[in-house]
Structure 1
Amino acid sequence: MTQVTMTVNGKAVSGEAEGRTLLSQFLRDGLGLTGTHVGCDTSQCGACSVHVNGKLVKSCTMFAIEADGAEVLTVEGEADEDGTLSTIQQAFQDHHGLQCGFCTPGMVMATKSLLAANPKPTEAEIRVYLSGNICRCTGYHNIVKAIMAASGQDVSAIAAE
C-alpha cells in the first residue's frame, strides 16, 4: 500500500492505495465520493470523468498514485460553495439534460471543460466534444440544449424532445 495525498474539491485528502487502485476506486471507495460513476472500466463511457490539474480525464484509466499531489475536481465539487447547483448543473436540471442520471456526472465535468475552452460552442461543437461520453437514455438532444443554456446562449428556438 502507498500513501496518496491530493487535493479533492479544494480539500487536502490522503489515503492508502495499492499500485493497481484506479483513481475512480480511490474517489468512490476510499473517499466516499460516489458521484463519480463507473460504467465500463474501459474508458468508453465517460461516466467517471473528473478534472485532474484542470484537465478532463477518465478516472477509470488513471491510477490513484498517478494523482498523488494533484488537484482533483469531481462532480461533488462542481456545486457552488453554498451547496446550490452550479450554472451547468442547473442547466442540466432546467433543460432535462438527464434521464436515468448515470452519465450525468461525466457529462457535467465534460461540459465544464468544454465551456472553459470554448465559452459559446455551437451545437455541432458540443456534439463532437461529447463523443467520449455515452448516454443511453436521452439521445443527447436535451444535453446539448442544457450545455448551450449553460453557456448563456438562447435555446428558445430549440424544440423540446
Structure 2
Amino acid sequence: MATTLTINGKPHQVDLPDDVPLLWVLRDEVGLTGTKFGCGVAACGACTVQIDGEAVRSCQVTLSDVWGEVTTIEGLGTPDNLATIQQAWVDHQVAQCGYCQSGQIMQAAALLAENPAPSDEEIDEAMQGNLCRCGTYPRIRAAIHDAAAKLKEA
C-alpha cells in the first residue's frame, strides 16, 4: 500500500506492507542509514528517531503506526551546521565506537525539547533505554548539560 511519510521535512512515498518497521523504511527505502539496527526489540535504543518530537524506537513502530513527522539523525543538523546537541557530543568526545550515538542523540534532543534544564537524575531516567557498550555515560550526561546551557544562552 502506498504511504506518504514526512521525514526530515520532506515527503517520501513508499509502497510497503503496513507491518514493516519504520527502521527498515528509513534505512532500506529512503536511504537514511544513520538510524541503526541494534536489537530489534526496543531494548537498546540504537534505532531511536522522533515522531512529532517524541523519541521512539523505530524497530517497533510499524509503517501504519507512524502518526506524524519523522525526524532522524540526518534531520537534526548537517556536517557544516551541527545541531547544538550534536556539537556537544563532539565537544565532549562522547563517541567511541559510535554505533549507538545516533539513537543517543535523538533521545537527548527529545529530552531537551521537553525539559531544557534536566538534572542528572532526569537525564539518567530519560536515557536509561539507550545502551552504550563503550560506557560513555558520564560524557553523555556532560554533553546534555552543555547543550542545555548553550540552548539557554541562544
Q: Same fold (TM over 0.5)?
A: yes
State the shift of 1:83 in Å.
4.3
- Counting aligned pairs with the same residue, the percent is 41
1:92 aligns with 2:89: yes
Structure 1: gaps of 5 or more residues:
154-161
C-alpha deviation, 1:4, in angstroms: 1.5
The runs of 5 or more residues in structure 2 that have no matched partner are none
Give the conservation status (yes or no) of the 8 Å contact 1:51–1:72.
yes
Which residue identity is paired with 2:115? N
Greater Cα shift, 24-33 or 48-57: 48-57
Cα RMSD of the aligned pairs, angstroms, is 1.5
Structure 2 residue aligned with 1:158: none
Q: For residues 11 and 36 of structure 2, what CA distance do their matches in structure 1 show?
A: 22
Instruction: Report SS of the residue matched to 1:12.
Output: strand
The aligned residue for residue 45 of structure 1 is 44
State how far apart, in whole Å, the 1-side matches of 2:63 and 2:138 are.
34
Partner SS state of residue 85, structure 1: coil
Classify the secondary structure of the residue corresponding to 1:5: strand
State how many pairs are aligned: 150
Q: TM-score, normalised by structure 1?
A: 0.88
Q: What is the CA-CA distance between 1:122 and the residue it aligns to?
A: 1.3
Measure how far apart 1:16 and its partner are: 1.2
TM-score of the superposed pair, with normalisation by structure 2: 0.92
Instruction: State how far apart, in whole Å, the 1-side matches of 2:97 and 2:69 are.
Output: 29
The structure 1 segments of at least 4 consecutive aligned residues displaced by more than 4 Å after TM superposition are none
Amino acid at match of 2:56: V
Per-residue Cα deviation, 1:16-67 (whole angstroms, up to 9, x for no partner): 1123311000000000000011100000000111111221110000111222
Counterpart selection for 2:129 from 120, 129, 132: 132
Alpha-carbon distance between aligned partners in 2 of 1:139 and 1:90, rounded to the nearest angstrom: 16
1:109 corresponds in structure 2 to 106
Partner of 2:64: 65
Counterpart contact for 2:49–2:72, Cα < 8 Å: yes
